[in-house]
Structure 1
């Protein structure tokens, strides 16, 4: 820039006044849904689940108090299911619903499963009891749980627990991986399982 250009620039800028500093904060993009929005979404999701899990006993096939419960969706690897059956997965949380009414058990079960899905838990323990003296038939809650869990797409598998964790009065429930867990697992497998 030669002297003429500098002089020209100075003359053009002579009457320019600096902007005053603003004390307002810039608007930041919204971080996510509000608590109220999340509560409404959770309520709607819970309501949808409750509709899938009937309270009418005509839909429930009775099982016996000492029957073993076992269920696996297509796509669950046999080795994974074997580990579940043998209680080799760490139980992230447990819920005891034995002794509840059918409605209480269903509502509590739905809330528990949805909460555990949000937290990314993979294996939970559900204590339903054996129900020797249940009315109108033995193993009422156990029979309901056996049916309800098969109606929830998010339940990949379940199996009666080991004796020390409730035996035929409880089930291990396997839930799906979160998207982040899937990404982490793919990365781990891509690297051959070694930490780098």
Structure 2
């Protein structure tokens, strides 16, 4: 730094007083720290962050593509009955006219609600997407990705025509612990 620069700097900062340092308390309650408010804010942020479904890039599917997915451990006979629509549909989610963000929240909440109420089979109506600009099947593409990303979804398959055909999917949910125990007890009595 040249002496002219130093003199100019000194002249500019003349009369400025340094800020007082505040003590920082780590792990202890300090003055002015509201831990209850922090805890509440953290819990609220955690709830909002629970939804890990991404609305970023998704591999596009065609409006006329059949969607199907089965996790390891799902019996072929169970998947076949799901595909044929032979299980009673206990819950329904209709996503027509929803944005991607609205659908993302709705799908996440739908799966959580189904698990909470021990629902085994639901249906998600997403539409084919053949009326959208350039036949993009946007929601259908996201549903195909999101359902695979949710651990509670064991399998899904495009629905039978009377349930919405290629514009809907049957969803098989994981059994809850209570349902597993009940099933085990029922088979033990035989």
Structure 2 length as normaliser, TM-score?
0.73
Counterpart of 1:163 in structure 2 is: 161
2:124 and 2:171 in contact (8 A); partners too:
yes
Deviations 1:23-49 (A, max 9, x none): xxxxxxxxxxxxxxxxx979845632x
Structure 2 counterpart SS, 1:142: helix
Counterpart of 2:91 in structure 1 is: 93
Query: Alpha carbons of 1:42 and 1:165: their partners in 2 closer, same or farther (altered >3 Å)?
Result: farther
The unaligned stretches of length 5 or more in structure 1 are 1-39
Structure 1 length as normaliser, TM-score?
0.71
Structure 1 counterpart SS, 2:187: helix
Matched, 1:148 2:146: yes
Shift of 1:111: 1.0
Structure 2 counterpart SS, 1:174: strand
What is the aligned residue count? Answer: 149
Matched, 1:176 2:169: no
Counterpart CA distance in 2 for 1:125 and 1:154 is 14
Counterpart CA distance in 2 for 1:43 and 1:163 is 41
The structure having more radius of gyration, on CA atoms, is 1
Counterpart of 1:138 in structure 2 is: 136
Counterpart CA distance in 1 for 2:151 and 2:123 is 17
Query: Alpha carbons of 1:76 and 1:97: their partners in 2 closer, same or farther (altered >3 Å)?
Result: same
Counterpart of 1:83 in structure 2 is: 81
Counterpart of 2:187 in structure 1 is: 189
Counterpart CA distance in 1 for 2:130 and 2:101 is 19
The unaligned stretches of length 5 or more in structure 2 are 1-41
